[in-house]
Amino acid sequence: MGRCMDCLATEMNEIAFERHGLVQRLLKASVVNPLANYLPPALFRALLRFGKSELAASNWADPGGWRSMVISYDGKPRQIADKILVGAGTIPMALRNRRKLAAKTLAILIDESPSDPVHALCVGAGPGRIIMDAMLQAKREAYATLVDVNTDPFEHGRLQARQEGLDGKVRFIQCDVRDGVGAILDHQPDIVKMVGICEYLLDPEIVEIARAVAAVMPAAAPIVFNSLSDAHGTDRFFRRVFGLHMNHRTPAQLQELMQQAGFDNFDAHPEPLGVYHVIVGRRAAGPTPDPAKGNT
Ligand SMILES: C[S@@+](CC[C@H](N)C(=O)[O-])C[C@H]1O[C@@H](n2cnc3c(N)ncnc32)[C@H](O)[C@@H]1O
């Protein structure tokens, strides 16, 4: 692939990722994960309620929603239960790694874009933490259109943008991307970000959303998304205790779906816990594949 991914490989070495030591890995595999997965879920729910866990409460209200993501990204919860879950849990650690890896990837893509200023479209954006990180790291001028079907995260996102000095550079729009995004855009996107969404969607939903964004992207423009592996070892815990049903896919499986939507030329980068890969694909030349028109 192009120059950008060579840069990323070098710059990744400079990212301060979170990792497990050998003892921590052995303890998790032999003691912590089996207990988390097989003790009665009612016991954990009672403990988390007693400990006023904000991570648990946000997942019970909206499993895997933007609020639980913000708690994990920030990594500085108030309650003791959350300090353990968020500080040492494999998924929250991997989420913070993904935040850093995706932001670095997007910053490099912004700096390499031929457009000026660079326009990023964020799908299922939540409050937009990752694109704001990227815009702060990039040397080039960028602005972002942040689209989410749910307006709840927008107030938090606007506040963050003001605090980060990005006021006026981010625009939040409510939209179900499956209905198309062309009408809400003032300009073609130079980069599309679809991080933190595929693991909550079924295969046909991913293809439908990716096809909708491919329809507004110029040829060769990059899309950034992520896969999720079950390497975290706690899927049973998350399903039973948090009601969180995530879809695990290899980078190859996700790339196959993206290919159906009109993307190719993929490059996947793992974060060091092996839970997430951040993947860059490119809009293939030619019309968007459309089964209705028989041009898939
Ligand atoms: C788990 S949150 C992730 C937020 C953010 N991308 C991040 O990584 O922090 C997923 C978001 O995708 C949004 N979403 C799901 N399906 C969507 C659709 N069809 N169109 C627009 N947004 C969607 C949800 O409302 C939710 O806010």
261 within 8 A of 210, measured Cβ to Cβ: yes
Candidates 101, 99, 141, 94; CA nearest to 120 is 141
> Residues 161-175: pLDDT tens digits?
999 999 999 999 999
Instruction: Please tell me if the CB atom of residue 66 comes closer than 6 angstroms to any atom of ligand 1.
Output: yes
Question: Which residue's alpha carbon is nearest to atom 13 within ligand 1?
Answer: 124
The mean-pLDDT minimum among 108-112, 184-188, 199-203 falls in: 184-188
**Spatial separation of the C-alpha atoms in residues 84 and 198, rounded to whole Å:** 27
Pair 173, 203: CB distance under 8 Å: no
Is the pLDDT at 1 greater than 60, yes or no?
Answer: no
Say what percent of the chain tops pLDDT 90.
Answer: 85
pLDDT band at 287 (very low <50, low <70, confident <90, very high): confident
Q: From ligand 1's centre to the CA of 176, what distance in Å?
A: 10
Mutate to test the pocket of ligand 1, among 74, 149, 176 (most ligand atoms within 8 A of CB): 149
Confidence of residue 13 (pLDDT cuts 50, 70, 90): confident
Is the pLDDT reported for residue 123 higher than 90? yes
What is the predicted pLDDT for the residue at 67? 94
Average pLDDT over residues 245-253: 97
Average pLDDT of every residue of the chain: 93
Categorize the per-residue pLDDT at 93 as very low, low, confident or very high, splitting at 50, 70 and 90: very high
**Residue 126 CA to ligand 1 centre (angstroms):** 6
23: exposed, middle or buried (Cβ count in 10 Å: 0-12, 13-18, 19+) = exposed
| Banded model confidence at residue 295, pLDDT cuts 50, 70, 90 | low
Nearest atom in ligand 1 to the alpha carbon of residue 177 is 20
Segment 185-202 shows an average pLDDT of: 96
pLDDT of residue 291: 63
Rounded mean pLDDT of 279-294?
Answer: 81
Q: Which atom of ligand 1 is nearest to the CA of 129?
A: 9
Q: Is the CB of 129 within 6 Å of ligand 1? A: yes
Average the pLDDT over 242-256 and give the result.
96
Q: CB within 8 A of 75, min separation 6: which ones?
A: 86, 87, 92, 96
232 alpha carbon – ligand 1 mean position (Å) = 22
At 117, give phi and psi (nearest 5°): -75, 170
pLDDT of residue 147: 97
CB distance 196 to ligand 1 below 6 Å:
yes
Tell me which amino acid residue 171 is: R
Q: Please list the residues that pair with 168 across neighbouring strands.
A: none
CB of 179 shorter than 6 A to ligand 1: no
> Which residues make up the CATH 3.40.50.150 domain(s) of the chain?
3-13+93-293
Ligand 1 near 102 CB (within 6 A): no
Q: Which two tokens stand for residue 224?
A: 């950034």
Maximum C-alpha span of the chain: 56
Mean pLDDT of 51-69: 94
Q: For domain 3-13+93-293, which architecture applies? A: 3-Layer(aba) Sandwich (3.40)
Nearest CA to ligand 1 atom 3: 196
